[in-house]
Structures are given as structure tokens and as C-alpha cells.
Amino acid sequence: MKSYEKIEQYDTEVTEALASNYKTVIGTLGEDVNREGLEKTPERVAKAMQYLTHGYGLDPLEILKSAMFTEDHRQMIIVKDIEVYSMCEHHMLPFFGKAHVAYIPNGKIVGLSKIPRVVDAFARRMQVQERLTDQIKNCIQEALDPLGVAVVIEAQHMCMQMRGIQKQNSVTTTSSFTGAFEKNKTRKEFINLISNKLS
């Protein structure tokens, strides 16, 4: 019987550099970096940070272009409740929530799984929620040239919950629209659809 072996791929030089810095940080905070519980922590954090920011190594535009199809469908397509995990660039603390993305095709559609992949590619970077919302919208608009794109993100920010104002139940909502979604009727239909549970 083979023992469990976890296979991970990380840049060795980056891991070593980050681990060295995190070891210094932990020591500066007053901890004993050589005690058993912390001995491997700098390396673990170095790998975790590489994973949490792996979006820098992804090209969201190419993700969409890899699965584009010609289709004469001109009604709203929505992928909602997409899990979002990102890192606030101001305090390097997580923010997390859900993204709702819609577009109205103009001769081209994209594989449905590619939209959550694009969300993740932008989210897994140092971010602010406002920029993240716009980046997702702009990428879909550029790749598909649809009749309109709508993106709404609802997120909780640990920098507001764990420190500072410490408001644990606050939720930040951002939105960004192009084309047909700038019309009140279309935008209202989108908001209604992402707000309601369809039976």
C-alpha cells in the first residue's frame, strides 16, 4: 500500500524568497520561528500565497477564446452565484462572496464553465472589488463583442470584519454594465433573475 503523497508544483525560487520573508515577519511579530508549530509555516504561507494569487499566470481573454462558438441566440445568458475568493490589495486580507455575470450574445456564445474561470483568473490576484467587477465585464465584452454585459459582485471583506470598523455583517455590492444592460428594462430583468430563486 502506497503512502499518501501530495503533489504540488510551485516555483522553487519564489517559494524560498517568500518563505525567507515570512520567517522574518513571524520573528518580528515576537514569535519563535523555530518552535515545532511554526517551523514549516513560512514555506506553507509562501505556497498558499502563490496559490491565492495564481491569477497572474492566467490569461482571462484566452480562457474565453478557447471555447467560443457561433450561435444565433440573442437572449440573456446568466451564470450566477459564482464563488469569489480574492485578496484585498490594501491589507492583504481576503474578501469573498458571489459574482453574477450575464451577457446577451451577438452571434457568439462561450462555454459556460469559462465564465467562472474568468472570474477566478481575475479574483486570484491582489484586488479591489470595484476593479475586479470592471475587469470581468471588459474581458467578456472584448472577447465576445456581445450586445451587452452585466456583472454584479456581492462580497464580505475581512479587512472590515477583523480589523478597523469591525462590522461583521456588512456586504459590499458592486456592479458594471455595458450595452443593452445600460437600459433600465434589461438591467431590471437581470437584477430580478439573480435575486430570485427559480423553481
Task: Extract the annotated binding site for Zn(2+).
Answer: 88, 91, 159
91 flagged as catalytic: yes
Residue from 91, 156, 161, 189 carrying the catalytic annotation: 91
Within 29-128, residue ranges assigned H as helices are 41-52, 60-65, 114-123
129 flagged as catalytic: yes
139 flagged as catalytic: no
For strand 126-127 and strand 172-177, is the pairing parallel, antiparallel, or unpaired? unpaired
Q: Is the dihedral of CA 184, 189, 190, 192 positive or negative?
A: positive
73 flagged as catalytic: no
Residue from 88, 100, 135, 139 carrying the catalytic annotation: 88
Q: Which amino acid is at 13?
A: E
Burial class of residue 97 in the structure, from the number of CB atoms within 10 Å of its CB (0-12 exposed, 13-18 middle, 19+ buried)? buried
Contact, 144 vs 68, CB < 8 A?
A: yes
168 flagged as catalytic: no
Cα angle for residues 71, 67, 112 (degrees, 5° grid): 75
Residue from 31, 89, 130, 142 carrying the catalytic annotation: 89
Residue from 31, 39, 90, 182 carrying the catalytic annotation: 90
Contact, 104 vs 151, CB < 8 A?
A: no
Annotated binding site: 88, 91, 159
Residue from 127, 129, 135, 139 carrying the catalytic annotation: 129
What residues are annotated to the active site? 88-91, 129, 157, 159
